[in-house]
Structure 1
C-alpha cells in the first residue's frame, strides 16, 4: 500500500470514526467505536490522531513504552490478557488485518469468497518473512489454523473457527479454506491477533511463550524478562516498505498508577499506555504531552460463577443485577470516565447492542424478593476475587461490596496477584470475580469465547441453550440486519440471566511525549498501527 493510499484510507476512516463518535451509524458494514457517552465524565471529547500529522516520518530511535502489567502468555493462539494483544499485534500478523472496521490485506494480498459462501481463497504475498528469516508459506497458514482448532492447544477463541471444515495449501502461496456452513464472522476473525500465522518450526521446537517468537510482524521479540521488560526490535524483512519507522519498542511494567503518571510527566518514558483515570485530567492539560482516546474498549463486569451455589440459581444472579448502582461504580472506580452499561456486554451505539436499557436505578426491594424466592431471605456470605494490582478494579470491588451488603450479601474481597487470579478464574475456583472483557471487532468473537458452554473464556461455567442457538444462527446468517437482531436477542438473554453483572465500559487514554508522532488509534480496538509511530527529535 502506498503512502497516498494509506493517507486516503486514514482520512476515510477518521470520517467514519467521527460519525460513530457523534452517535451516528456512519458505516453499516462494520461495528464502530461507542458514541461519546460518559456518565459524569468531565470530557466527552474523542481524539484518535493529531490534526497535524507532523510532516514526513523520520526513521530511527526506540520508543519507551510503559504499561501496567506484563503478560503471562504470549502464545497468540492461547493469549487472553490485553497486554498480550498489545505486544503480539506488533510481533505477529494474520491473513488479513482490520482497521476501524475495514478489512485490509496483510499476509494475504488478495482473498475471495465463493458465491455460496462455502469456500475462502487467499493469495499470500511472496515478500512476507518470519523473524527466523524463513518465508511465510501456505503450509504455515494451514498449520496455524489447524493448531487453533486442535483441542490440545486450548485456544480460548477456537469456537469462532468451528465453521472451518478443512484448510488446504494449494501451492506455496495459495490457501483454500472449506467451510461446513457459511460464516459471516470468519473473515473478521481471520484479521485478529487470535488467528496469527505462526512459524510452525518455531512453534514445534520450543513453543511460543518463551524468548523466541514465531511471528512475521513489523517487530520481533528481542529480550524478555518476566515482570520487568520486553524489548521489540524492528523486523528488517517486513513486507511493508519503509516501516516500521522505529528501531524498536522498549516495554516496561509498573502497576503503580502514580508512578506511571510520574514517568510520562517527567519524560522518563515516551508512551504511557492507558493512564489511570484519576490522573487523566492533569496529564491531558500538560503542554509537554499529547493524549489520545476517550472512547472505551474494555467492558467491565462482575463475573458470577454459575457453576457454584448460590450463583447457579438465576434468581440470585438477577438479585445482584438489580442491586448494583452502575453510575456509582463508574464514578468511583473510573473517575466517571466511561459509559454505564444498563444491559449487556455491548455499550449503546455498538452494532448488536441493546437499544433499550434493561436496568436503571438500583431496585433493592426487587433484589431482596428474588433472594427470598431463591431461598436466601437473609442473604449469604460470598467471596469476590480481584486482581490486587488493578487499582480501579479494586475500587470497583469495594463499591460492589458495599452495594451488595444492602440486600444481605456479605462479600469478602480476596485480592490476588494477576497470574494467581487468572489461573483461579480458568479453573472456576471463585465465587465472584471482578473482571472485564475487551470489545471486539465482531460480536461473535466475544459471545462465543466467553459465553458459549464450551467457550475458552467461559469462566462462569454458564450454559443457556436459547442463547447458544442464537449465537450459532447469527454466525451463519449473511443478512446483516437479521444478524444484528440475533445479537440483540442474545444480549437480552445475557443481561437478564447470564453469568455477568455488566457495569460500565471504560474511557481510556494513551499519553505520549509531544515528539511521538503517527498515532492513529482504532478503538474497536487494534494496536497494529504502532508500526507507523515515529519520533520527531
Structure 2
C-alpha cells in the first residue's frame, strides 16, 4: 500500500485531505463514462412531485444533481472561499450598504438547446421561486430580494429589503438556478425528473416507476461559465445501501463512491484498503442535531429540552457510532467556522443526571417524561439508527425519560416533519454556503427550513439583520455569539456532532480530492481518467 499526504489549500481552518492509495485496476462504464455511486435516493411522491425543480429542491442530494445541470450567477470555488462569477462575468454591490447588487451576464451564454440566456431569464427564474414559495423552505434563501430590474439583455440588478453581505453566496445556490421560460411555468412546479438549464452538463434520468436508478450527465456543448470540464460523461448511480455501493466499487462496476459511506466502510478502507481502491478525506461542514416542535405537548416546556441537553453524551455517540468520522458539537455553528462558541457546553457542562433532574424539578416536572425520537432510515447512512438507539439508551438510563425511537423513509419522514407531526426528530445539515449565517437563518429566520414554530424576536429581528450588515464577516462575531447563547438556553434544536466527509475511488481516477467541496457540493466536472 502506498500512503501519501495530499496538500490542498486550507479551507476554514480545516486540515488538508489525506489520500490513501493501493494498487491499480481498470473500472467504470462500458461507454467510457465515469460512474459514481451514491446512496441518495431520488423519488417523486404525492408530497414531492417535482423533486428536481429548483423552486422546490432543498436537499443536498438533489442540489448535487442540479449543480451539474443548472447554472447560477455565482459559484463557490472548488476549494471554498468567496463566490466567483459563473453565469455572470461580473457581480458586485453598487452601494456601501450591501443593498443593491448588479450582475453582468457572460457573452454568448445559452441554455443547452442553444437558446440565449438573457437578463429576463434571470429575473423570471428567481421571481418564479419566490412566487411559488414551496413549503420546502428553499425560497427563504431569496426572500431578502425586494425587486429585480433588467437593463438590456445582459444586466440585472437586485434591490434587497435590507443589507445582506451573504447575498452573493445565496446566488450561488441551486434555488437561484437559471431555467428557460419555455420549459417552466411561472406559477407552478415542474413535475418529474427532467431538468433544463445552462450548466456544464445535460441530464437524463433512468427510472423504475417513481424512483431514479441512474442519472446520466453529458457535456453541454453550449456551456459557457467558470467551470472547466475534465470529462465528457458521468453516470450517477443510486444504491439502496452503503454496503451494496461498496461492493460495486470493489468489483469495478463503479469508479467512485460518495455520500453516504458507512462508518464501518470508512474505518476498513483506512485500516485495510481493498486492492485498487483509495479513500480521500475531504474537509466537511456537516452537522447533526435534534429538532423540536416547540408547540408539541411533550417538549413545549423548555425545561424538558434543557434537561435533554444536560444529559446527552455527545462524545459517546460520536465515538461509539461514528468513530473517527465525527466529533462532538456544542453549537449549530461548526467548530471549524469562525464565530463558533461552545455555548451548550458552557451552559450545561459535561453530561449530568443531577443537573437534568434539578432543571425538571425547578420547572415543576415531577414525572418521567415520555418521548418518541423520530429519524430517517435511508437518508444519512446506516449509522443513523445506531445513533438513535444510543440516544434512547442514554436518556432512559437517567430514569427521567421514557424514550422510544421510530424510523421512516425520507420520502415519508420529511413531509411529516414539515407538517409538525414529530415532537422530536433528527436531521442533518449540509450548509448551502460556508458562512455562519447559513447555520442560523435556516433554523431561526422567517420561512426557515425546519418550519419550526419557535420564534425568538431578538434573533430574527435584530441579530440576523445585524450580522448581515457586516461585509467583514469577522465583525459579525458578537451577533453570532449571542445567537448561539440564546439557542443553548431555549434549546429549539440540540446539536450533536460534526462530521468529516470521505470519497473512495478506484486507482486511475483523478480529481477525486476536488469531487466534494466543504459544503458537500458534488463537482463531477473535476473527475478524469489518467494521471493528475
- Give your verdict on TM over 0.5: yes
Question: Post-superposition shift, 1:505?
Answer: 0.9
- The alignment partner of 2:183 has SS state of helix
Work out whether 1:315 is the aligned partner of 2:303.
yes
CA distance in 2, matches of 1:81, 1:177: 25
**Could you tell me whether the CA contact under 8 Å between 2:464 and 2:479 is conserved in 1?**
yes
SS at match of 1:89: helix
Tell me the CA shift for residue 193 of structure 1. 2.2
Q: Distance in 1 between matches of 2:397 and 2:452?
A: 24
Once residues 226 and 337 of structure 2 are traced to their aligned partners in structure 1, the CA distance between those partners, rounded to angstroms, is: 35
Give the alignment's TM-score, normalised by structure 1.
0.85
Does the 8 Å contact 1:108/1:125 carry over to 2?
Answer: yes
Q: Does structure 2 retain, via aligned residues, the 8 Å contact 1:297–1:523?
A: no
Partner of 2:42: 71
Pairing 1:485–2:470 present: no
Matched with 2:200 is 218
- 8 Å Cα contact 1:49-1:521 kept in structure 2: no
The one-character-per-residue Cα deviations of 1:335-359 (angstroms, maximum 9, x if unpaired) are 24222102x1122131221166435
What displacement does 1:280 show? 0.9
- Indicate how the Cα distance of structure 1 residues 208 and 232 shifts in structure 2: closer, same or farther if over 3 A, else same: farther
1:431 alignment partner, one of 408, 412, 423: 423
Q: In the TM superposition, what whole-angstrom CA distance separates every residue of 1:39-63 from its partner, at most 9, and x where no partner exists?
A: xxxxxx733899xxxxxxxxx9312
1:306 to 294, 303, 310: 294
Q: Name the stretch that deviates more: 454-463 or 235-244.
A: 235-244
Counterparts of 1:194 and 1:487 in 2: how far apart (Å)?
25
Distance 2:329 2:275 in 1: 34
Q: CA deviation at 1:243?
A: 4.6
Matched, 1:110 2:90: yes
Cα distance in 2 between the residues matched to 1:391 and 1:282 = 15
Q: 1:158 aligns with which of 135, 139, 143?
A: 139
1:145 aligns with 126
Deviations 1:378-405 (A, max 9, x none): 2221211111234211111100100111
Classify the secondary structure of the residue corresponding to 2:323. coil
| 2:67 aligns with one of 66, 89, 102 | 89
Structure 1 segments unaligned to the other structure (5+ residues): 1-10, 18-31, 37-44, 51-59
Q: 2:284 aligns with which of 287, 291, 296?
A: 296
Give yes or no for contact 2:289–2:497 (8 Å, CA) kept in 1: yes
**TM-score of the two chains, using structure 2 as the length reference:** 0.86
Aligned residue among 234, 239, 257 for 2:219: 234
Confirm or deny that 1:374 pairs with 2:374: no
Contact 1:92 1:214 in 2 (8 A): yes
Looking at structure 2, the residues matched to 305 and 533 of structure 1 have their Cα atoms a distance apart, in angstroms, of 42
Whole-angstrom CA distance in 1 between matches of 2:143 and 2:402: 41
What secondary structure, in the 3-state scheme, does the structure 2 residue paired with 1:203 have?
A: coil
Q: CA offsets per residue over residues 62-95 of structure 1, 9 Å max, x none? A: 1211111213422223222221122111111210
**Which residue number in structure 2 is paired with residue 410 of structure 1?**
402
User: What secondary structure sits across from 2:150 in the alignment?
Assistant: strand
Aligned match of 1:349: 336
- Do residues 365 (structure 1) and 346 (structure 2) align? no
Contact 1:131–1:213, Cα closer than 8 Å, also in 2 = no
- The 1:209–1:443 alpha-carbon spacing in structure 2 relative to 1, beyond 3 Å, is farther
- Structure 1 residues 35 and 496, CA, compared in 2 at 3 Å: closer, same or farther? farther
CA deviation vs aligned residue, 1:419-478 (integer Å, no higher than 9, x gap) = 0001111111112112111133223234222222x3331244221112222112212333
3-state secondary structure, aligned to 1:365: helix
Matches within 5 A, 1:120-519: 120-150=101-131, 152-154=133-135, 156-204=137-185, 207-225=189-207, 226-240=211-225, 243-274=228-259, 275-284=261-270, 285-342=273-330, 344-354=331-341, 357-358=345-346, 359-389=348-378, 390-407=381-398, 408-439=400-431, 440-452=433-445, 454-468=446-460, 469-519=462-512
Q: Contact 1:339–1:347 at 8 Å: present in 2 too?
A: no
Counterparts of 1:241 and 1:464 in 2: how far apart (Å)?
40
Residue 152 of structure 1 and its aligned partner are, at CA, apart by 3.8
What is the Cα deviation at residue 182 of structure 1? 2.1
Q: Distance in 1 between matches of 2:349 and 2:306?
A: 13
Query: Deviations 1:190-214 (Å, cap 9, x if unpaired)?
Result: 1122321222221218844423213
After superposition, the C-alpha distances for 1:268-304 in whole angstroms (9 at most, x for unaligned) are 2111013211111322433412222253332001122
User: For the residues of structure 2 that align with 1:252 and 1:522, how far apart are their CA atoms?
Assistant: 17
Instruction: Provide the rounded CA distance (Å) in 2 between the counterparts of 1:47 and 1:74.
Output: 33
Distance 1:363 1:508, change over 3 A: same
Question: How many aligned residue pairs are there?
Answer: 492
The answer for the alignment partner of 2:25 in structure 1 is: none
Write the distance in 1 (CA, Å) between the matches of 2:392 and 2:520.
34
Aligned-partner Cα distance in 2 for 1:107–1:433: 38
Q: Classify the secondary structure of the residue corresponding to 1:222.
A: strand
Gap runs ≥5 in structure 2:
1-5, 22-30, 44-50
Is the 2:370–2:403 contact (alpha carbons within 8 Å) kept by the matching residues of 1? yes
